[in-house]
Amino acid sequence: MLFMVSTIIVLTSRFWGINTSLSMRYFIMAIWDLYFMLSYFSYREKTYKKYVIKNNFWLTIMPFVIFSIYTLIIWGIGSNAEFENFIKLCSTLLYLILAYGYACTAFYLFKAEGIDFIFWSGVISYMSGSVFYLIVSYGLNGLISYIKSLITGETNTANFAMEVHDLTFAMGVFFLYYVFFENKNTKKHKIKIIVSLILIFMGLKRIELLALSGAILVYYVLLKWGKKIQIRALVCTICATVISLVFIYIIDTGILALLMSNLGITDDGARLSFYLYSSKFYELGLGYVGTGWTWFSKYFFNLYLSHFRLNGGRIAASLHSDILTIYIEVGCIVFIIWMFWLFFVKPIRLTKKFGLKTGECVLLLTIYMFILYLTDNTLTYPDTQMIFLLVPMIVSWVDNQQRISE
């Protein structure tokens, strides 16, 4: 019960229209992570549970460790990095470690049931912090009006309270797990699918619907067939890398702006303005080494704090494209290595250690996350990254238990 209450707080980034304290959420994560580490290292015997945690954790956190080391090297050689940039670098890595550590804690304490603990905590968080607030503030008519606005695409006064980015994107990971990997005979299986889908719909993130559709399409076209992971992982790696570089290219050359203009697509969220502004900070080509991980994120956030405006409107707190941000910060070669790690190294390594089902799970979730990375800043959302690590651990564990029982 204590863990569930803690998780509800951890997953609540917005409550009754007010953003909650990020420091408090990370502090709670840190307490549970410390408890997990003491438990993990106090018993020296090797267990399968520890084996699952160790391999999944390190394969997930390693790209960020590499980013950090690479950044320290290029900053050491010479750059315009200041002390606050080093603080930003360390804090970002620490926050990711805390989020991933919390996922490890849930798995270590509850094994397969850990994912349901976090899922229902997220449901309670959203219902109490957003849905109930909407009903109290605007009545049932307000809720009905909001649901209608989701269908029509109209702006509603309740959007701010209902649009909880982090938890909404995490619900997409839950949905994919429950649909494709959870045992169909598991208690409340269909209910969890329906509830996660409802929360996704109410969370008002159109890119998430696109990401889910894309991931599911790739699953049925590519991932579901075959007994080996290597070819499928290689195809995904090549496609993701090409899509990313083409995306960056059409931004830098102005082709994206021209396409949107010709197609009559309006830049309501001002993302295009952000992307075009960022193009002066990077170059196309293998020789581009980057500004250093978190440098541009920090720079852009400082612009936001200074009320910097583009085309008459104030910019957002982030660029809203992890793909573009990472390319700017770590350069072309390290960016390509990152793609290779996400889509090839990680799923193949986990397949060899835990079986094909785990590898397919990682690939499916990575495709979903990749589409989000294109036009959002999901890479540093703690809730989403937490579940992104937790689900493959659950699949590894359950698949092994089924093999033992057969």
The tens digit of pLDDT for each residue in 116-167 reads 999 999 999 999 988 888 888 878 777 777 777 776 666 666 666 677 778 9
- Alpha carbons 8 and 86: distance in angstroms, whole number: 31
Do 44 and 261 touch, CB atoms closer than 8 A? no
* The model's pTM: 0.94
**Residue 242 is assigned to a structural domain of this protein:** yes
**Residue 405 is assigned to a structural domain of this protein:** no
Do 16 and 129 touch, CB atoms closer than 8 A? yes
Is 332 a residue whose pLDDT tops 90?
Answer: yes
CA distance to 89, 212, 228, 282, per residue, from 288 (Å): 20, 33, 35, 7
Q: How many domains would you assign to the chain?
A: 1
pLDDT at 375: 87
Question: Alpha helices of 43-113 — where are they, by DSSP H?
Answer: 48-77, 83-110
Comparing 81 with 164, which gets the higher pLDDT? 81
| Residue-range definition of the domain harbouring residue 386 | 2-400
Q: Is 289 helix (H, G, I), strand (E, B) or coil?
A: coil
Give residue-wise pLDDT tens across range 54-73: 999 999 999 999 999 999 99
Nearest C-alpha neighbor of 328 from the set 271, 379, 287, 283: 283
Is 305 a residue whose pLDDT tops 70?
Answer: yes
**Residue 225 is assigned to a structural domain of this protein:** yes
**Residue 112 is assigned to a structural domain of this protein:** yes
**Residue 406 is assigned to a structural domain of this protein:** no
In the chain, % of residues over pLDDT 90:
65
**Residue 252 is assigned to a structural domain of this protein:** yes
- Average pLDDT of the residues of the chain: 90
Which long-range contacts does 234-239 make (Cβ < 8 Å, 24+ apart)? 234/344, 236/343, 236/344, 236/363, 236/366, 236/367, 237/339, 237/340, 237/342, 237/343, 237/344
Query: What is the average per-residue pLDDT within 211-228?
Result: 88
**Residue 211 is assigned to a structural domain of this protein:** yes
pLDDT at 134: 83
- Alpha carbons 364 and 395: distance in angstroms, whole number: 13
| Local confidence band at 394 (pLDDT 50, 70, 90 cut-offs) | very high
Least trusted range by pLDDT, from 23-32, 175-184, 205-214, 236-245: 205-214
pLDDT at 276: 86
Query: What is the average per-residue pLDDT within 5-32?
Result: 92
